[in-house]
Amino acid sequence: MKVILKRYSSSQPDLPQGIEYLTELWIKWIGEWSMGIDLSICHISPQQDTNLFSWKEDQFSSEQEFLFIDPARGFQSLDLGLFLENARDMIRDEGPSAVHALALSRSINSRILIDLDEGYGISQVYPLGLTDERRIDGYTLSGLSYFPRKVESNNFTEGCPVIRGTKNAGYRKDYPYLFHEGVNTYGLPMGGRFFEEINSPANFSIAEKGIYEKRRETIFLDRDGVMIKDTGYFAGLNFQILPGILPMIRAANSENKLVIVVTNQSGVARGYYTEEDVIGTNRAIEKELLKSDARIDAWYYCPYHPDGIIMSYSYASLCRKPEPGMLLRASSDLPVDLGRSKIIGDRITDRVKLPYVGFVLAGSKLS
């Protein structure tokens, strides 16, 4: 498989800090994955970018699949095997298509944001955070795109998806691999650490470490209704540990699986309790579990809700299940292998919108 890597000069304007670092990280990432996937790099300049789809080089055929990497979008230490498996499955038997790896970002005022439909099609693009609602985060391009073949067209005037804003026609030329007439464009949210820029050798070392990190199978647990009895909007010490959760956690611990709690806590946004109350409750539950040698590796909670009455939490967030933001954050903070992970919830809305993460309804057998 060919990899088309866009090369920049550090003297070019409006580039992220450390563009040389970002480029080097992608090259190292390709080198690591080329051990299991036959990858070879072709370099293009920014001036060649708009001709990407009608590329006339003889280095690969029009029917050969390829990856396109734009380091100016950042670097993400994602699982290439997982990305390719799901990207190929998304566009099987379709016409001209593209799948773009997406990262979770809170830089909503400096990054383009992307909305997905239920089939992972890119439905809306918002330049520089010009969204239709209050939101705390969003999907953005991570720099990697997959094409099953070259597209013999170069018309960007009626491209899909819809781009918002009145003076943003230039974005079609800035992102020609995203806006393209006649191409089905998909977005696939991916885990791993995402770096929008690299501003020091120390940050480069941190990012580089993520390329070689050995990731682990993970069990994600909902809290209320799975770990403790669900009594509605709850915070405090008067909780009841549910039967069966202790041996399940101990078994995962003994098998070297990570155990991570992911819980919606919109009671914060609704004014029922505070974020400090949520943290205190989680610590009390963790202390109780440890008495029985059941270890939780990390806790994530989402205090946001667009209908909240506390304005500082009245936001839409991709961290609120069934959106997958908490899982993506966990895979950035810890060596989580999302492709070998499951989430256990007590209701269907706990099934997160990631096609490669398993779901188990509480009470059914975990295998």
Query: What residue segments make up the domains of the chain, in order of their start?
Result: 2-212, 218-361
218-361 sits in which CATH class?
Answer: alpha beta
Lowest mean pLDDT among 6-15, 292-301, 303-312, 352-361: 6-15
Q: Which of 123, 138, 37, 21 is nearest to 72 (CA)?
A: 21
Global pTM value: 0.89
Peptide bond preceding 127: is omega within 30 degrees of 0, i.e. cis?
Answer: no
Q: How far apart are CA 348 and CA 363, in angstroms?
A: 13
Q: State what percent of residues in the chain have pLDDT above 90.
A: 62
Is the CATH number 3.90.550 carried by domain 2-212? yes
Q: How far apart are CA 228 and CA 326, in angstroms?
A: 20
Three-state DSSP class for residue 144: strand
82: Cα within 13 Å, side-chain hemisphere:
19
Q: How far apart are CA 326 and CA 222, in angstroms?
A: 11
Structure tokens at 33: 């994955």
Residue 367 pLDDT > 70: no
Structure tokens at 179: 């806006």
Check residue 260 and give left, alpha or beta (phi > 0: left; psi -120 to 50: alpha): beta
Residue 336 pLDDT > 70: yes
Q: Active-site positions?
A: 222, 224
The stretches of the chain forming alpha helices (DSSP H) are 19-33, 80-90, 171-174, 201-212, 245-254, 275-290, 325-333
For 172-215, what is each residue's pLDDT tens digit?
555 655 655 556 789 999 999 999 999 899 999 999 999 999 99
117-128: average pLDDT = 85
